[in-house]
Amino acid sequence: MSPPPADVDVDPRSGYSTATGTYHSLRPPPPHAPPPPSHPLSFPDFAFSSFSTSLPTTRPALIDSATGDAVTFPAFLSRVRALAAALLLGVVSPGDVAFVLAPPGVHVPVLYYALMAVGAVVSPADPALTQGEISRLVEMSSPTVAFAVSDTAGKLPCDLRVVLLDAPDFLSCHGVGVGEAAVAVRQSDPAAILYSSGTTGRAKAVLLTHRNLIASAAMPVTASASAAAAAAAANVVILLAVPMFHIYGFMFCLRAAMAGQTLVVYTGTAARGRGRFDARAVLAAVARFRVTRVAMAPPSVLAIVRAAEEDGSVTAGTASLQAVNCGGASISPDLIRRFSRKFPGVSLSQGYGMTETTAGFCRAVGEEESGRTGSVGRLSWGAEAKIVDPTTGDALPPGVPGELWVRGPFVMKGYLGDKESTSAILDSEGWLRTGDLCSFDKDGFLYIVDRLKELIKCKGYQVAPAELEHLLQTHPDIVEAAVVPFPDDQAGELPLAFVVRRAGGNLNAEQIKEFVAKQVVHYKRIHHVCFVNTIPKNSGGKILRKELVKLALHRRSNL
């Protein structure tokens, strides 16, 4: 992780080098920079080494949003060390994969840290998955043990050893006096296996190293990388309203403890895979725990905005809120404007990343950058990027869209047991092809257009579904919308919209088509409309377009 070579001419405004066609990060290095890759170091050791000597003894490291139960920073450290020592007593060995199938809770970050501290590989999965889906993930990662709760253990293969996190004997492992584990871990060793969303193909096992986690967690998330800014960041109280098994929530778990920040774990019914996201409960938690920052996905942002629009009293007591981090999927400019009206003075900070890049490598920091509507921010420290013409392979300058390629120490080691898929996305020089159509502007801000594979090819033109979805969601009688391609003999593909109507509304298909047609060029017009009760999404908020394409084809005779 280093600045651009001295002999490379880089535009100080955009970070772009015309000589190499590469965009370089212009961020300053963090005050707690990672050591050289050859230095033996686990992620937990790196994280704990960043703690200052004045670490507060009473301020919580973790809080359960439902119960209010809190774990102080000294208690967090002692629990991690005690559990790590207990795990080595016949539960796991260095290099073992530990499958984690559990709802969110204050015990989960403790488990993540303890497993990695002893050289085990953490592999969390969505507890809402079916037994068959879980069996597929277990087959991919080959764990030696699984950590689950009573409600999820029955979904695991019967021949896999299971440790119940809600059992008394496990909870007793958090006791003090067990001793510390001493395991030599290299930065190049595997630390985690997370599963790609599978929205454009079958889910894959993404192998991340300790170096990947260290590099990602070290990226500054404030407007300044100074020691003073780091000290101010330590007073942050974060409400985690995204899944802890998803790379987004996973890295927030790790980074918050490392930065000495309080993490409020949202443990509502939606967080446990039961029912819809409860916007009122989240806003109540913000007020109760004086939360300064919330991490959530775009559908959750839409939910809290709608709740505030329907009942302004739900924002009472949320004066402590300073920022909302939004990631996992794109967010429309209209929603950003609505958010700003209902939460004035609260910045909505977007970021961009993938499981394969150990979460975000591009983000907006500070009020000024967050004000760039439509952008996901600038490259983080240590990141390089290219915008590549998908047809010619040529690197493209600012203002010209193409496929985003990225390189840096946060890029995954590869897909576990899948060399073919690894080589298809990761080249010999370390460049990872994101599959997203993007562009940088002259100031180095990144804009996401859509997934290359999801672009609709209509009459020779490329139509981005996300653009039409954002437009549809501006209609007052549309709750949610998703756009997919529909085969047509003459045009090739035509945009088809799945729409969730507002309860009690009488909006019809022709009205929707007319609404869109007035605002877009002819080839972007909606040609078919299907009304549904919900839009299927994955845990990160991304629309499951493959399911909708299948549904559209099934309904073909009625369209």
The whole-number average pLDDT for the span 201-210 is 88
- Percentage of the chain with pLDDT > 90? 61
> Is residue 361 predicted with pLDDT exceeding 70?
yes
The whole-number average pLDDT for the span 221-231 is 50
The whole-number average pLDDT for the span 471-483 is 92
pLDDT in tens, 34-69: 889 999 999 999 999 876 556 667 889 999 999 999
Are 425 and 228 in contact, with CB atoms under 8 Å apart? no
Instruction: Supply the pLDDT for residue 120.
Output: 98
Are 289 and 282 in contact, with CB atoms under 8 Å apart? no
Instruction: Supply the pLDDT for residue 67.
Output: 93
The whole-number average pLDDT for the span 170-197 is 78
pLDDT in tens, 363-375: 988 778 888 888 8
pLDDT in tens, 398-407: 999 999 999 9
Buried residues in 187-225 as b, exposed as e (16+ CB within 10 A) = bebbbbbbbbbebeeebbbbbbbbbbbbbbbbbbbbeeb
- Percentage of the chain with pLDDT > 70? 89
Instruction: Supply the pLDDT for residue 213.
Output: 97
Buried residues in 123-143 as b, exposed as e (16+ CB within 10 A) = bbbbbbbeeebbeebbebbeb
Winning range, highest mean pLDDT, from 336-350, 400-414, 454-468, 534-548: 400-414
Instruction: Supply the pLDDT for residue 372.
Output: 85
68 phi, psi to nearest 5 deg: 85, 0
Please tell me which residue, 214 or 168, carries the higher pLDDT value: 214
Rounded to whole angstroms, the Cα distance separating 142 from 138 reads: 6
Rounded to whole angstroms, the Cα distance separating 193 from 216 reads: 15
Q: What is the mean pLDDT of the chain?
A: 88
Instruction: Supply the pLDDT for residue 224.
Output: 46
Instruction: Supply the pLDDT for residue 199.
Output: 44
The whole-number average pLDDT for the span 134-161 is 95
> Is residue 229 predicted with pLDDT exceeding 60?
no
Rounded to whole angstroms, the Cα distance separating 256 from 251 reads: 8
Rounded to whole angstroms, the Cα distance separating 388 from 542 reads: 24
The whole-number average pLDDT for the span 329-333 is 77
Whole-prediction pTM value? 0.83
Please tell me which residue, 553 or 444, carries the higher pLDDT value: 444
Confidence category of residue 458, pLDDT binned at 50, 70, 90: confident
Confidence category of residue 460, pLDDT binned at 50, 70, 90: low
All structural domains of the chain, each given as residue ranges with its CATH number in brackets, are: 37-378 (3.40.50.12780), 455-558 (3.30.300.30)
Instruction: Supply the pLDDT for residue 226.
Output: 47
Report DSSP state, residue 253. H
The whole-number average pLDDT for the span 434-443 is 94
> Is residue 230 predicted with pLDDT exceeding 80?
no
Instruction: Supply the pLDDT for residue 270.
Output: 60
